Amino acid sequence: MRIEQLVSKAQHLVRLADEPSGCTSLMEEKKRCHLPGLVVMCRTHPGQVEASICGPVFGLVLQGSTEISAGMQSLSIASGDLLVVSHDLPVATRVTHAAPFAPYLAVLISVDLTIIRSLAEQISEDWAENKHAQTLEAGSAEPALIEAVDRYLSLPENSVAANVIIPLIRREVHFRILVGRHGGMLRNLLLPGSHASKIAKAIALIQDGARERLSLTSLASAVGMGLSSFHHHFRSIAGTSPLQYQKDLRMTEAKRLLSRGGRTVTSVALEVGYESASQFSREYSRKFGAPPRNDFPRTGGAKGRAAKGRTLNL
């Protein structure tokens, strides 16, 4: 199976999709389709660097290329490459190759941890913690995975066969990723007491309390780690500090709220957890390179740029 054979199928799904997805993605244009957990992304021109919270997700690039970075990690991903993001991460992305006649195309399949855990139980293999695994893993997609994605994209809408087969193919795709060479961090997540699983729990707690003042001591205690160890492993896995992670969450949520309109900068600042609108505006400008008011919906019917907020969902 050649990766080029999937391009026309992905383009067909883009044409069928009539609703922009509300999930996080690495692209400006992203489309949900009738296939659960799948988002097709299409972009006709290279773009600027965009900030988002991304993951957990699998991404398969079909055409064009993009760059993604998180913390000290930076990857270039081109046609035929697979990206695996194991945790919700603050990332910066930029489409580097795209054109109207050959748009950037990628399919994203959200990670279902319930499926991952079920597969691990069925496999019954004792994995040792992979100390070299990364939260961003990328490389050439294996042929068996490409074939599974091809069958997924080929399923017709509103058919009995699709309803029966979709869960099976989703499970196969998860299996191919989990046992493949890019699934190291996902396998770490399954290990009780692993640093990967503890930091995933900490990330979930930060997300649940994104508007509240963050206590690192309480957070470390909640996941069963000492403060210094927690801070070290959080930065190692998430690519940033817990406090900066919370700030990134607040900023992406603020960008989403501003782009919808109907709110003032002050009300958005308060809603995402800031007590000072001036501090919020300074940090917003520092992160996105422009003041918050620039992200209000444009007049004349043009839509404001959508925020890159949670979930990728890539």
Q: Digits of tens for pLDDT over the chain (314 positions)?
A: 578 788 887 877 776 554 443 333 333 344 445 677 788 888 999 988 887 888 899 999 999 999 999 888 899 999 999 999 999 988 888 999 999 999 999 999 999 999 999 999 998 777 888 888 999 999 999 999 999 999 888 887 777 877 888 899 999 999 999 999 999 999 999 998 899 999 999 999 999 988 889 999 999 999 999 999 999 999 999 989 999 999 999 998 898 899 888 899 999 999 999 999 999 999 999 988 889 999 888 754 434 333 333 333 23
Range(s) of the domain holding residue 62: 3-186
Instruction: State the Cα torsion 264-266-271-274 to the nearest 10°.
Output: 160
In a domain, 251, yes or no: no
In a domain, 262, yes or no: no
Q: pLDDT at position 7, please?
A: 87
Q: pLDDT at position 55, please?
A: 81
Q: Locate 142 and state its tokens.
A: 């294996």
In a domain, 116, yes or no: yes
Q: Give the count of domains, the chain.
A: 1
In a domain, 311, yes or no: no
Q: pLDDT at position 29, please?
A: 44
User: Is the backbone peptide bond immediately before 56 cis, with ω within 30 degrees of 0?
Assistant: yes
In a domain, 161, yes or no: yes
In a domain, 312, yes or no: no
Contacts of residue 161, Cβ cutoff 8 Å, sequence gap at least 6: 155
115 vs 132: CA distance, rounded Å:
24
Domain of 144, CATH number, reads 2.60.120.10
180 vs 108: CA distance, rounded Å:
17
Q: What count of other Cβ atoms lies within 10 Å of the Cβ of residue 232?
A: 13
In a domain, 13, yes or no: yes
Give the Å distances, CA to CA, from 79 to 56, 83, 180, 210, 297.
Answer: 21, 11, 19, 36, 34
306 neighbors 256 (Cβ within 8 angstroms): yes
What's the burial of 186, exposed, middle or buried (CB within 10 Å: 0-12/13-18/19+)? Answer: buried
Q: Locate 231 and state its tokens.
A: 């801070």
For every residue of 132-143, DSSP letters joined together read T--SEEEEEPPH
93 neighbors 52 (Cβ within 8 angstroms): yes
Contacts of residue 306, Cβ cutoff 8 Å, sequence gap at least 6: 20, 28, 256, 259
237 neighbors 87 (Cβ within 8 angstroms): yes
262 vs 112: CA distance, rounded Å:
34
DSSP state letter for 56: S
In a domain, 176, yes or no: yes
Give the Å distances, CA to CA, from 45 to 27, 42, 100, 305.
Answer: 11, 9, 7, 16
